[in-house]
Amino acid sequence: LSELRPWLSGGVAGATRGGGSTGGGGGAEKGGRVRCSRRIWVLLGSLVLVFLTSLFFSVSLRGGVSFNYLEPPGWEESRRVKLVPSYVGAHRLSPPDTQQQKTCACPRCVGDPGVSDWFDENYDPDISPVWTRENIQLPSDVYYWWVMLQPQFKPHSIQQVLLRLFQVIPGRSPYGSWDPGRCLRCAVVGNSGNLRGAGYGATIDGHNYIMRINLAPTVGYEEDAGSHTTHHFMYPESAKNLAANVSFVLVPFKTLDLVWITSALSTGQIRFTYAPVKQFLRVDKDKVQIFNPAFFKYIHDHWTRHHGRYPSTGMLVLFFALHVCDEVNVFGFGADSRGNWHHYWEQNRYSGEFRKTGVHDADYEAQIIQRLAKAGKITVFPGK
């Protein structure tokens, strides 16, 4: 317009000057009007062209005009250009780029973001499942929640207890960060009766880590439950001796549990908590790990959502695996085909009573497991 303005002003001025002439100026006046009229029409045409071009680009940037009567459903969505980065947890217009999102070498990796918004919103990869020298100090809310799980009459200084314990065991986490070139496959083996007759033994033994809970016998049950173990999770009242190549993971519910493990690996002074416990424990001291109460509460807050007084040991082990493994496969969880809640090594007349205790919410925990499986974070082997 700035370039056209002198040209337009000159034409209008010429027409005005021609109109002011007398005598023989009539033809010049008429010619001036024609030239002015042509220039005005050219100008208007240029403005219309600029406007239409601007409008076309504006519509294009907003996603274009829908031609669904010519194209198959979803065409417009698939052709849409993403103008914002793919932040974790954001709604995706197209499937994530697996080459960029992969966190391990397994076909499906626990740590891959963008697969499930629900999982990404609740999963905290920075919280350690192991209690170590580095995270020895508990937040006050975690500490008071934890000590009230099983209140004790005799108070203990948690700092002093842990310092003594870490003189006996390493007090460090053996688990590193995610490695894109690694595929660490883990089997979390529960104690459900649905393992009996399932024939999962060889499949379970084929994992890198095999995690078992409390009693969990394998001798005589190798065909269904497997024979290998790398991690055994127990609390003092369920503890048993382990082979030298197995990590004993203590799940503490009270400070006295920490006093007991220190004693059981050294002096043998503690013989009773609220029930008789082993005076001495034969395990590999260098492989002993302590379940982190902060991780315990994280599961209670983020995953079981305060259903039940606290999560079951099975849920604690499952999420332990979700934070240290690349692939997690679950065996022996839930009821058997008849709806009974019992162990694969026993016949329990009162197998349904577990659902009624109020300590754990078995139904809600089953929903979480189902949702994790649907999100592709675990694979559940249903058993028989």
Overall domain count for the chain: 2
Q: What is the dihedral of CA 205, 211, 213, 214, to 10 degrees?
A: 80
Q: Is 101 within the bounds of a domain?
A: no
| Residues 278 and 135 grouped into a single domain | yes
Instruction: Judge whether 82 lies within some domain.
Output: no
Co-location of 248 and 323 in the same domain: yes
Q: Is residue 132 part of a domain?
A: yes
Same domain for 364 and 232: yes
Q: Which domain, by its residues, includes 41?
A: 4-61
Q: Are residues 47 and 172 in the same domain?
A: no
| Stronger pLDDT, 32 or 161, i.e. the higher one | 161
Q: Catalytic residue at 360?
A: yes
- pTM score, two decimals? 0.72
Shared-domain flag, residues 11 and 150 = no
Taking only the tens place, the pLDDT of each residue in 256-304 is 999 999 999 999 999 999 899 999 999 999 999 999 999 999 999 999 9
Residues 52 and 178 in one domain: no
- Residue 64: the pLDDT is 38
Task: Pick the catalytic residue from 209, 235, 310, 344.
Answer: 310
Question: What does the pLDDT average to over 129-147?
Answer: 94
Same domain, 193 and 270: yes
Which of 24-38, 48-62, 69-83, 176-190 has the least mean pLDDT? 69-83
Q: How confident is the model at residue 82 (pLDDT cuts 50, 70, 90)?
A: very low
Distance CA 119, CA 97 (A): 18
Indicate whether 153 pLDDT > 50.
Answer: yes
| Final residue of a structural domain among 61, 81, 106 | 61
pLDDT band with cut points at 50, 70 and 90 for residue 11: very low
SS3 percent helix, strand, coil of the chain, rounded to 5, is 40, 10, 50
What average pLDDT does the structure give for the chain?
A: 80
pLDDT at 45 over 60: yes
Tell whether 154 and 298 lie within a shared domain. Answer: yes
List alpha helices for the chain, DSSP H. Answer: 4-19, 26-61, 75-79, 98-101, 117-122, 140-147, 158-165, 201-205, 222-225, 255-264, 293-302, 313-324, 362-374
| CATH of residue 153 | 3.90.1480.20
Active site residue 207: no
